Amino acid sequence: MQILHNRFVKNRNYVLLFVSIGFAMLTLILSSCSANIPVQQVSQNPVDSLLEIKYSIIFIIHGNGDYLYFDNSGNQIEADEVTLTEAIRIALQNPYAEVFIFHQKPTQHFLFFFSLKDGEFYYYRNGKLIANELYWRDQEKSNLDFEVAAYHRYRKVTPNKLINIFLYFGHEIPEFGGAGYDESYSERTFTIDDLANELKGFTSDFSKFDLTILGSCFGGTPYTINKLGSYSNTIIASPENLHLSYFDLHSFEQLDINLKDSDVHSFANKIARESFEKLTKNVQTEVSVVVYDVEKIQPFINCVYDNYNSTLISLKGMTQENLATIEHCDCADIPAYQISTINNGVNIFYRPARFGRSKNKLNHSGWKCWKY
Amino acid sequence: MKSIIAFVSILLMFVLVIPANAGGKEELQKHFKNIANKVKATENATEKREILNESFQKMSKALNTLESTGMISDKDQVGIDGLKATMQENQDELAGKNGFERVSDNQLNNFSDYVVQNMEQAEMITISLVSLLLIIILVVLLV
């Protein structure tokens, strides 16, 4: 009887062990699986629509980092997911547009060892989803090869002059170094030069983007704007911190009305003004949205570029610890930048933070520098 | 056998819990959001001030405690110094010290939002995940 009891106890222990491991494995599988939709090629060779294409829009949405914020109702928001939803809405509501959306996501693993693809691409044309696929992002230096290749693979070739628009959403893009931009790849680097190279890849068939929107913190520096300006006629960026609720893209939903006369510069000013209104209504921190007319800002850039570049060279030689103590400042606070052309070609929407040391700052030059 | 089961289960639990916590900064943001919610739920301005002041003090204390362990890397130290400076500035502004204009009673709700949004914008990539989690644990433990 005792033997039977011992066997029963022993068997019960084994059962418990297997149930425990089984439960843990199941949890592991469920937690490591991606909740994303599976890979799907909606159509490799879409039948050409009768509707002409007037607008070509590219979204790059970086989501491999901390993008959490709370809205005014206290809801927890992931900035990249909200931006993706908005980009898809824009794609669906514009029958005369083609829209490329690249969502750069964190690395996820299946059973700890098997990496899952960390990018998702959507291509919409005439308001319809044409392609949707998961892809591998560059694992080392960020050349953004897939993004550029996918754009050239799918884009509509047309003799019409298109309005080309590029939008980037993410954290501040470093002007040098760039390691650690992606939370999943500490060694991987991404800099503004990499983004500029990507723009070069996109624009190989046309001269420049009509409009580039840089939805990141500290985008309005002479170096960054000059780099992006090589491939864009008009740029919207924030020279200060930009809250993760980003810009207001509502006007993109009806391009046929808002860009009816093809006046991109006026459209850019409308987007900037609406973004400013949205941000000032919702955040207590500093708000700065600036429209840069690339042609008109050239005299200023030409005067200050060497100075700014030499600051960057000095900063490159610093350790990460020392670098973290160097702050940004309004370029107008530095004598070398106080030149007559500083306000040329910039349309500035600025409101200081409601609290903090700079709450009484009334104006901003629209340009961000390093306090070094 | 029971001890093996317990060991395996605990080990697996730890392994599974790590990914769930993979975001120290998020926890910090949630902490300040909870403080803001408490401030807004309170009618009395004096109490609002107390909630905010106590949260800044608690955070500063947690950062000091973490520093005193001597386990902080140079890289983390820079981030912790930055966070401490921010807490001090918040405290000074709340009380109207060190050149700051005192936050008025009717602005305390907005000030609590400002603290949260400032944290959302801050790029505290210089603080490691482990240190951020330790800060949160210390804030919870320190009464």
What is the overall mean pLDDT for chain A?
87
Of A122, A32, A115, A57, residue with least CA distance to A253? A57
- Contacts made by residues A47-52, CB under 8 angstroms, sequence distance 24+: A49/A125, A49/A126, A49/A128, A51/A95, A51/A96, A51/A126, A52/A96, A52/A158, A52/A160
Of A15 and A349, the structure prediction assigns the larger pLDDT to A349
B contacts of A283 (beta carbons < 8 Å): 113, 117
The answer to whether residue A189 is domain-embedded is: yes
> Which domain does A329 fall in, by range?
55-370
A contacts of B30 (beta carbons < 8 Å): 76
pLDDT for B26 beyond 70: yes
Asked whether the beta carbons of residue A285 and residue B118 sit closer than 8 angstroms, the reply is yes
Asked whether the beta carbons of residue A356 and residue B19 sit closer than 8 angstroms, the reply is no
Phi-psi region of A123 (alpha: psi -120 to 50; beta: other; left: phi over 0): beta
φ/ψ of residue A366, rounded to 5: 95, 0
pLDDT for A13 beyond 60: no
Instruction: Output the 3-class SS for A92-117.
Output: HCCCCEEEEEEEECCCEEECCCEEEC
Of B26 and A1, the structure prediction assigns the larger pLDDT to B26
Instruction: Flag whether the ipTM exceeds 0.90.
Output: no
pLDDT, average across residues A142-161 = 88
pLDDT for A37 beyond 50: no
Percentage of chain B beyond pLDDT 70 is: 78
Assigned token pair, A305: 């570029």
Length of chain B: 143
A318-329 pLDDT tens trace: 887 788 788 899
A contacts of B13 (beta carbons < 8 Å): 24
Query: For residues A89, A92, A93 and A94, what is the CA-based torsion angle, rounded to 10 degrees?
Result: 120
| CA–CA gap between residue A98 and residue A53 (Å, rounded) | 7
| CA–CA gap between residue A164 and residue A208 (Å, rounded) | 8
Assigned token pair, A94: 């514009």
Of A49 and A136, the structure prediction assigns the larger pLDDT to A136
pLDDT for A20 beyond 70: no
Q: Nearest-CA distance from B136 to chain A in Å? A: 17
Assigned token pair, A350: 């600025």
A283 close contact with B: CB closer than 8 A: yes
Helix (H, G, I), strand (E, B) or coil at A164: strand
Q: Nearest-CA distance from B93 to chain A in Å? A: 7
pLDDT band for position B20 (50/70/90)?
A: very low
The answer to whether residue A14 is domain-embedded is: no
pLDDT for A336 beyond 70: yes
pLDDT, average across residues B111-140 = 80
Cβ proximity of A66 and B25 under 8 Å: yes
DSSP assignment of A284-343 equals SS-EEEEEEEHHHHHHHHHHHHHHHHHHHHHHHTS-HHHHTTPPEEEGGGSGGG--GGGG
φ/ψ of residue A48, rounded to 5: -60, 135
Task: Give residue A263's Cα distance to chain centre.
Answer: 24
Angle between helices B45-68 and B24-41 (to 10 degrees): 160
Which pLDDT value is given to residue B18?
41
Cβ proximity of A223 and A192 under 8 Å: yes
Which pLDDT value is given to residue A14?
54
The answer to whether residue A7 is domain-embedded is: no
DSSP assignment of A228-261 equals HHTSEEEEEE-SS---TT----GGGGGHHHHTTT
Question: In this predicted structure, which of A186-200, A315-329, A338-352 has the lowest mean pLDDT?
Answer: A315-329
pLDDT for A52 beyond 80: yes
pLDDT band for position A1 (50/70/90)?
A: very low
Nearest by CB to residue A284, choosing from B5, B12, B113, is B113
Task: Give residue A350's Cα distance to chain centre.
Answer: 22
Assigned token pair, B50: 């107390």
Question: In this predicted structure, which of A9-18, A180-189, B50-59 has the lowest mean pLDDT?
Answer: A9-18
pLDDT, average across residues A366-371 = 95
Nearest by CB to residue B125, choosing from A20, A180, A355, is A180
Nearest CA in chain A to B73: A321
Cβ proximity of A285 and B121 under 8 Å: yes
Instruction: Specify the pTM.
Output: 0.85
Nearest by CB to residue B12, choosing from A13, A24, A217, is A24
A158-162, A186-190, B15-19, B103-107: which is most confident: B103-107
Task: Give residue A108's Cα distance to chain centre.
Answer: 20
Which pLDDT value is given to residue A7?
55
Of A114 and B86, the structure prediction assigns the larger pLDDT to B86
A42-51, A339-348, B7-16: which is most confident: A339-348
pLDDT for A79 beyond 60: yes
pLDDT band for position B130 (50/70/90)?
A: confident
| CA–CA gap between residue A63 and residue A83 (Å, rounded) | 10
Cβ proximity of B7 and B114 under 8 Å: no
| CA–CA gap between residue A41 and residue A48 (Å, rounded) | 16
Tell me the torsion sign for CA atoms A86, A88, A89, A95: positive
What is the overall mean pLDDT for chain B?
81
How many domains is chain A built from? 1
B104 close contact with A: CB closer than 8 A: no
Of A90 and B73, the structure prediction assigns the larger pLDDT to A90
Which pLDDT value is given to residue B3?
57
The answer to whether residue A12 is domain-embedded is: no
Of B119 and B22, the structure prediction assigns the larger pLDDT to B119
| CA–CA gap between residue A46 and residue A288 (Å, rounded) | 41
Count of other CB atoms within 10 angstroms of residue A305: 14
pLDDT band for position A248 (50/70/90)?
A: very high
The answer to whether residue A8 is domain-embedded is: no
Residues 6+ apart with CB under 8 A from A259: A55, A163, A267
pLDDT band for position A309 (50/70/90)?
A: very high
Residue with tokens 């301005």: B45
Which pLDDT value is given to residue A251?
96
Residue with tokens 């509509």: A156
The answer to whether residue A99 is domain-embedded is: yes
pLDDT for B133 beyond 80: no
Which pLDDT value is given to residue A307?
95
B57-78 pLDDT tens trace: 998 998 888 888 887 887 788 8
The answer to whether residue A59 is domain-embedded is: yes
Nearest by CB to residue B117, choosing from A14, A68, A243, is A243
The answer to whether residue A10 is domain-embedded is: no
Q: Nearest-CA distance from A221 to chain B in Å? A: 18
The CA angle A262-A101-A297, to the nearest 5 degrees, is 45
Of B140, B90, B91, B116, residue with least CA distance to B25? B116
HSE-up of residue B60 (Cα within 13 Å, Cβ side): 15
pLDDT for A372 beyond 80: yes
Helix (H, G, I), strand (E, B) or coil at A348: strand
Nearest by CB to residue B120, choosing from A69, A74, A321, is A69
